[in-house]
Structure 1
Amino acid sequence: MEQQKTFHEFITKYSFVIPNYQRAYSWGEKQLNPFINDILEHCDNNDDSSDDTTYYLGHYILENSNNSDKFEIVDGQQRISTIYLFLLVCGYLKEKNYINGIDFYPVSYDKLGLEEIKAILNTRKNVDTELEKLLENSKTSSLKRMIEAVRLFKAAFSTSKKNDSVLNVDEIDDYIQIINKAYCSVAIFNDKSVASQIFELHNTRGVKLTETEKVKALLMKNIYIHSSTPIEAEKNIQEIQENFARIFELEEKASEVWLRGDMPLDTILMHHLRAVEDGNKIENFGSPQWFEGDRGSFEYVKESLSIKNKEEIVVYAKRIAEEFARSMEIITVDIPNADKKDNNHLIGDVLLLDKNKSLIFLLRAFRSDNSINYNLIKRWENFVLCYDIIYWNGFFYRAQYRDSFGAIYASLKPNSGFNDCNDLLLEFYKGKWFGSGWGHLGENAKKRFEEGKNKWLSNTYGWTRAGYFLYKYEIKKGTREDVEKIRTDIFKDDKVSIDHIVARGLTKESLGYADYENLNENDERKKEANELWKEIWGVINGIGNLALSTASNNSSDSNGLPNEHIETYKKCGFIETAKQVETWKNPEQFVSRINERSEDIMGFIYESIVNRNDLWE
């Protein structure tokens, strides 16, 4: 343990590198603004810097196990990176070199990007334009955040000497002094024993760690404690670090390439533990139940470690890291590539259908064979849809029927191919595993579909699968260009949004009864208006009156008449819907038009989804 007196002594004494097994730069406006406010708080705006209050810049953990001239930053890299970027901006504004004597390297995949930021600021030409270009061409989210930090710092400076709420260019030297004189504490470890202490150090200081970082620290701690020799511990910890280096590198790619909205790392970890864990999972596919908290990923791994002996703990910890890295490759490389193959997009569709079930299925399927079996994915989609049709129509609500999915997941074993799963899905489809009351899934789905016809016509709005059926209906009838537009515009947030074609808030005036409020209760026109609205209300939540939408379109289209939304439907690629709704002009025909569209959609669902014996032959 070594205590440094000032941040300047600390930052100029060592050569710093952020190891790839640490997360890359992740600070945004939420963290950067308090940093700016801290500097302003410690600067009293008078000419005497001697009475400025002392700034505490935190605790830092460094590791130097190879006796090299570079120290790895185990904890504190976000602060050091931020200060480094701030000094770059200050240097740009004052035409001084405030990073002189500071030797700092980010994660390897952002090293060239940081050099480009420095070059742009040093040349001082078209800085805003060049930063914007670099932002657009950035390959990692962490580099984008560094550029955004530079832009935020640049914008935070004011040329006004009287503005106390922002940084002042004329006071930059004072800000540098505050940072240089700030206190900080430093812990330096010359061996991998830091791995056994890092978790406690984080927790006792009350630092908010991500669930993934807590799991990484927990694995490293247990590896160190339970390895048979110090040499073995060094080797095992190195394996953990290498796998997490890969994990954090792919984290930067995950949200950019993921098919349906963002995919945060902690969410991926939760799905990984549900699906794979250490590669030996054959049951309990619903745990962890959440990505954090008492039923989250960290507590799940902690409990799993607690029931294992010394040798098992080491093997388990190493396998968790190894398999998690493999899951990251599947999510960032294998799944996106498979989804694009032959413009298929079926992988993305089943994720849209049911992300929780389908991610477990896919994380196991991509491990069981080198190339994905699209017929298996088609069966999976059809199986889940038929299951949901039966479930939605009021049957089989007991948990025992839902839990049987675990057997399907377990049939997808590494290096076993897809035959076991294909066979088991077929047995489930024929009704062998869900219990005596289930029957043949395909035939039962047809039966429930026909029996539930009135429900489809009158009340499908609240059912989460209704949007998926509408999605399949639209892409089946649309051109390739329209289909791509639907996928990119509608499903950015990993969910389906649906809206009413005939709005529930439609006014009586819009129905053609402008004088409605002035009519007495016995007036025939008022009775006529009420009867018309009653008929419309009976089908207003039916499948035929629902269309895919976006949150912004829901808001902008508001409660206008159906044909006022035509351009919105066309813009989103809903060509079939636009064509149908063009005729929805006369309110007296709304009910018949809704029923016609319902019949068309239900006919499509029956032929394309319910009546698919060809998939199961």
Structure 2
Amino acid sequence: MEASSTIRNMLANNRIVVPTYQRAYAWDTPAEGSTRVSQTAVFLSDLEAYRSSNSRSPYYFGHFLFEQTQGEYRVIDGQQRLTTITLFLAALFACLQAKRALTEDEQDCYKDMIKRESQIRFKTVGYDNQTFVDYVINQSRTVAPASLTTSAQRLINAFDFFKKKLGSQPEAFLTDMLRIVSQASCSTHPVRDEAEAIQMFIFQNNRGKRPSNLEVVKAQFMYAIHLHSEDQEARDNLIEEIQNRFETIYKSISAIDYRINEDDVLQHTLRVHFNSLWESGALDRIEKMLTAESPLEFVKDFTSSLAISFEHLTAFFGADERSSFPIHSLVSLGGIGIVLPFILKAYRFGLPLPDKNQLCVVFESLIIRHRLIGTRADITSRINDTYEAFTSDAPAIGPILENIERLKTVGSGWWAYWNNEKLAEALEWGIRHSTARHLLWKYEVHLEGQGQRGYEPRRNDDIKRPELEHIAPTTEPTASPHGYGAYDETFKSEYLNCLGNYLLVSKSHNCAVGNIPFSEKLETYQHNFQQREIAKFVSAGSIWDQNAIQIRHDKIVATLMAEL
């Protein structure tokens, strides 16, 4: 490869592969009708902007770093861009062929950049490559397989996105785009020494976008192996082991994407590995361990620990969250990072599901109290001792439950910030909408479950785009009579923004009712138990006033106090 090249020349006559221990495809594609910015949409809009600019300089795709091995180039840095370029070109050729036969030069371009006979120019990670070949390169499948990794689904989504966008364009647009991409400039740096390639990845800063901490740690580990291994065989064996661990890790990342950030998993694993919730600054801690005695032992042990964390979180956020209501409830609350080290330990110690469920119930209660009461009290200092005592030699959850129960019931002093008395006070005042939505969902579950045998609780995600509606609107309706009682200062300051006046509705329902009179609004309250229950609280004459709000508020608070 030449140091300064074009995309076509870089791909031509070369076999470029993504190593299995590298991250799989991670770029997002906008959903149908979505206005959210995604990497693939930006990729396309950048090319369109360049085409409109009439620039005389070639488009620049950045720098690519490769490890040159016998017969192939392994991508060290730039694989997300290179994958997207291949997806775009495959879609472009498909759209162009749908309009007419390719010219001789276009056929040569296809052979250089996509496939010449059986030789495919670019290969993604092994576990996604068959889908990539079938759906994108050969296009022998038009329906996605039933079972896909998240990264494989992203490949399909990006390819379909490009096909749809390009398919609606005239022929001249497609030929312009083929010229722009194939002639786009790039710089490459192939190295034969893997240690050098890893070092370059650690220090490279591509267009100011920094790699994740997890990617940096992986590179640091690989470099440490090259630096400290005593002989070639030991080095090769440990590299293979670390590569296999990271292949497992990246598969897990695909499974739990959007649930938890990979760097947060790294941080939580440090807290498990060193048995302290005070662990922070992952890169500094790991760098320190790599300069201490026995760095390779740490690399081996911690990589194993990291892979186990990802494996357990895949189960926690996946099958277990779908089958266990307490886990689902805690996950739905969000912002649960402080308790995940406890959860990871519970999985590592092989605790049964009922124990995990109990942990989720008590920690959900603790996090809600912490959010509602809003003190400066530090949650870590109140649970770290219990965390450190929770070990494989003493895996019982009893001390954890007792500690949290003490926090809920202690009468006064330093430990009393989140007791039941403070919780009851906090529930009387305005509550952040995200937390109030969660509380009203819990109330809905309570109402649905009353008197029912074999009841399966309603999942939070069963409610389509849930929102909070103010039953009595925050702005007094102009129509009179409107049925909401007198909008005096007491009503506005104490009753409008409390749980008694909040109602869980769908977004479409909320938009539909707005500031209409209460009698009309009441007729729409038919979609869940708490909506249908509103009629029971209404004062004589169907007036939703402060008395009705107070009665409902007291009932909701009593229910929550019993559960939290």
Under a length normalisation based on structure 2, what TM-score does the superposition of the two structures give? 0.79
How far off its partner does 1:366 sit? 1.3
- Deviation, structure 1 residue 6: 4.3
Which position in structure 1 is the counterpart of 2:204? Answer: 202
Show the counterpart of 2:385: 407
C-alpha distance in structure 2 between counterparts of 1:279 and 1:456, whole Å: 34
Aligned 8 A contact 1:387 1:445 in 2: no
- Is residue 141 from structure 1 mapped to residue 121 from structure 2 by the alignment? no
Shift of 1:473: 1.9
- 1:89 touches 1:121 (CA, 8 Å); kept in 2? no
Matched with 1:365 is 346
In the TM superposition, residue 277 of structure 1 has moved relative to its aligned partner by: 1.3
**Residue in 2 that maps onto 1:212:** 214
51, 57, 64: which one pairs with 1:60?
64
User: Secondary structure at 1:134's aligned position in 2?
Assistant: coil
Give 1:579's aligned residue: 533
Contact 1:569/1:575, CA 8 A, preserved across alignment: no
1:263 maps to 259
1:98-119 Cα shifts (integer Å, max 9, x gaps): 2343432221222222233247
Question: C-alpha separation between the residues in 2 aligned to 1:474 and 1:42?
Answer: 53
Q: Is the 8 A contact 1:196 1:221 kept in 2?
A: yes
Corresponding letter in the other structure for 2:3 = Q
Partner of 1:296: none
CA contact (8 A) 1:63 1:190 kept: yes
Counterpart Cα distance in 2 of 1:530 and 1:85: 59
Q: How far is 1:601 from its partner?
A: 2.0
Which residue of structure 2 aligns with residue 70 of structure 1? 72
Q: 1:313 to 1:599 in 2, by over 3 A?
A: same
Counterpart in the other structure of 2:124:
106
* Residues 4-53 of structure 1, C-alpha deviations (whole Å, 9 max, x = no match): 6543333122222212222222334644455546656777999xxxx975
Matched, 1:317 2:299: yes
Distance of 2:408 and 2:42 partners within structure 1: 60
2:25 partner letter: Y
Q: Who is 1:291 aligned against? A: none
Q: Distance in 2 between matches of 1:465 and 1:196?
A: 44
Following TM superposition, by how much is the alpha carbon of 1:268 offset from its aligned partner in structure 2, in angstroms? 3.7
Q: Distance in 1 between matches of 2:440 and 2:210?
A: 42
* 3-state SS of paired residue (2:555): helix
Which deviates the most, 330-339 or 558-567? 558-567
Is the CA contact (8 Å cut-off) linking 2:339 and 2:363 kept in structure 1?
Answer: no
1:89 aligns with 2:91: yes
Separation in structure 2 between the aligned mates of residue 477 and residue 326 of structure 1, nearest angstrom:
39
Matched, 1:597 2:549: no
* Equivalent position SS for 1:186: strand
Identical pairs, percent? 22
Among 330, 353, 372, the alignment partner of 1:350 is 330
Unaligned regions of 5+ residues in structure 1, if any? 123-129, 160-166, 256-261, 289-298, 515-527, 610-617
Q: In structure 1, what is the Cα distance between the partners aligned to 2:83 and 2:513?
A: 45
For the structure 1 residues 605 and 86, does the alpha-carbon distance in structure 2 shift closer, same or farther, using more than 3 Å as the test? Answer: closer
Which residue of the partner structure matches residue 460 of structure 2?
Answer: 487
SS in 1 for 2:318: helix
The residue matched to 2:545 in structure 1 has which SS? helix
- Structure 2 residue aligned with 1:385: 365
Aligned residues of 2:136 and 2:159 also touching (Cα < 8 A): no
Aligned AA (2:88): F
Distance 1:387 1:173 in 2: 57
Whole-angstrom CA distance in 1 between matches of 2:53 and 2:413: 79
SS of the aligned residue for 2:516 comes to: coil
Amino acid at match of 1:70: E
Q: Note the 1:198-277 alignment, pairs <5 A.
A: 198-200=200-202, 202-203=204-205, 206-255=208-257, 262-264=258-260, 267-273=261-267, 275-277=268-270
2:482–2:517 Cα contact (<8 Å) kept: no
- CA change 1:107–1:582 in 2 (3 A) is farther
C-alpha RMSD over aligned residues: 4.2
Q: 1:173 to 1:583 in 2, by over 3 A?
A: same
State the shift of 1:251 in Å. 1.8
Displacement of 1:504: 1.8
Displacement of 1:204 in angstroms is 6.8
Letter in 1 for 2:131: G
Q: Displacement of 1:346 after TM fit? A: 0.5
Q: CA, structure 1 residues 227+206, in 2 after alignment: closer, same or farther (shift >3 Å)?
A: farther
Q: What CA distance in whole angstroms lies between the structure 2 residues aligned with 1:484 and 1:389?
A: 23
The question of whether the paired residues in 1 share the 8 Å contact of 2:224 and 2:296 is answered with: yes
Do the aligned residues in 2 keep the contact of 1:14 with 1:70 (CA within 8 Å)? yes
Alignment of 1:498-537 (within 5 A): 498-507=468-477, 509=479, 511-512=481-482, 529=486, 534-535=490-491, 537=493
Q: Partner letter of residue 410 of structure 1?
A: E
Partner of 1:613: none
User: Contact 1:60 / 1:186 at 8 angstroms: preserved in 2?
Assistant: yes
Deviates more, 1:574-583 or 1:235-244: 574-583
User: Letter of the aligned partner of 1:60 in structure 2?
Assistant: F
Q: Secondary structure at the match of 2:273?
A: coil
Structure 2 CA distance, aligned partners of 1:28 and 1:308?
Answer: 34
CA distance change for structure 1 residues 591 and 368 in 2, over 3 Å: closer, same or farther? same
Instruction: Give the 5 Å matches for 1:533-544.
Output: 534-535=490-491, 537-544=493-500
Could you list the per-position Cα deviations for residues 535-571 of structure 1 after superposition, in whole angstroms to 9, with x for gaps in the alignment? Answer: 4653233332223345555444433345655577544
| Counterpart selection for 1:154 from 155, 163, 185 | 163
Deviation at 1:456, TM superposition (A): 3.9
In 2 relative to 1, CA 499–324 (structure 1 residues): closer, same or farther, beyond 3 Å? farther
Q: Distance in 2 between matches of 1:370 and 1:530?
A: 54
* Separation in structure 1 between the aligned mates of residue 464 and residue 269 of structure 2, nearest angstrom: 27
- Structure 2 counterpart of 1:418: 395
Aligned length: 535
Shift in CA distance, 205/593, structure 1 to aligned 2, threshold 3 Å: closer
Alpha-carbon displacement from aligned partner over 1:178-219 (angstroms, at most 9, x marks no partner): 544444433223343145423345227644423432332233
Shift in Å at residue 475 of structure 1? 0.6
Q: Distance in 2 between matches of 1:34 and 1:602?
A: 47
Indicate which of 503, 506, 515 corresponds to 1:547.
503
Aligned CA distance change for structure 1 residues 335 and 369 (closer, same or farther; 3 Å): farther
**Counterpart Cα distance in 2 of 1:175 and 1:483:** 54
- Counterpart residue type for residue 409 of structure 1: Y
**How far has the Cα of 1:602 moved from its partner?**
2.9
Deviation of the 1:593 alpha carbon: 1.8
Partner Cα distance (2:301, 2:522) in 1: 54
Inter-CA distance 313–14: structure 2 relative to 1 (3 Å threshold):
same
Cα distance in 2 for partners of 1:386, 1:118 equals: 48
- Deviation of 1:498 (Å): 3.6
Conserved 8 A contact 2:17-2:72: yes
Following TM superposition, by how much is the alpha carbon of 1:345 offset from its aligned partner in structure 2, in angstroms? 0.9
State the distance in 1 between where 2:464 and 2:48 align: 43
CA distance in 1, matches of 2:421, 2:176: 78
Q: For 2:194, what is the secondary structure of its paired residue?
A: coil
- Point out where structure 2 has 5 or more consecutive residues left out of the alignment: 30-37
